[in-house]
C-alpha cells in the first residue's frame, strides 16, 4: 500500500459528501487510503478494493505462519520422509 499523505489523503466527511466521485476516483488511481474526519477526529478509512483484498491476504498468511510456528514449537511436525511415504502409499506411487 502506498504511504499515506496527510495533505491529500485526509478529508472532512463534508468534503467527501460534496466530492464523492472525485475522492473515489483518486482512491482508485493512487491506491492510497483516504481518511475521513468528523469534528477533527478520524471517522472512517476508505480503501481501494484491491488494497483491501491484499491486506486480507497478508493477514491470512501471517496468521497461517503463526499457527505453523506454534505447531513446530510444540513438536507437531511430520518428517519429510514420512510425508513422502504416506503420499506414495495413498496415491499408489513408487
Domain boundaries, given as residue ranges, for the chain: 6-47, 50-90
- Rounded CA-CA distance 36/56 in Å is 21
12-21: pLDDT as tens digits: 999 999 999 9
29-63 pLDDT per residue, tens:
999 999 999 999 999 999 999 999 999 999 999 99
The CA-atom distances, in angstroms, between 53 and each of 1, 22, 50, 57, 58 are: 11, 22, 5, 6, 9
Q: Evaluate if pTM is beyond 0.75.
A: no
The domain at 6-47 falls in which architecture?
A: 3-Layer(aba) Sandwich (3.40)
Amino acid at each position: 500500500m502506498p504511504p499515506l499523505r496527510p495533505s491529500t489523503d485526509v478529508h472532512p466527511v463534508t468534503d467527501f459528501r460534496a466530492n464523492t466521485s472525485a475522492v473515489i476516483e483518486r482512491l482508485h488511481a493512487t491506491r492510497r487510503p483516504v481518511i475521513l474526519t468528523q469534528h477533527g477526529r478520524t471517522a472512517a478509512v476508505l480503501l481501494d478494493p484491491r488494497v483491501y483484498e491484499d491486506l486480507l491476504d497478508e493477514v491470512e498468511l501471517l496468521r497461517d505462519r503463526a499457527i505453523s510456528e506454534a505447531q513446530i514449537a510444540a513438536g507437531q511436525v511430520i518428517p519429510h520422509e514420512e510425508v513422502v511415504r504416506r503420499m506414495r502409499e495413498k496415491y499408489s506411487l513408487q
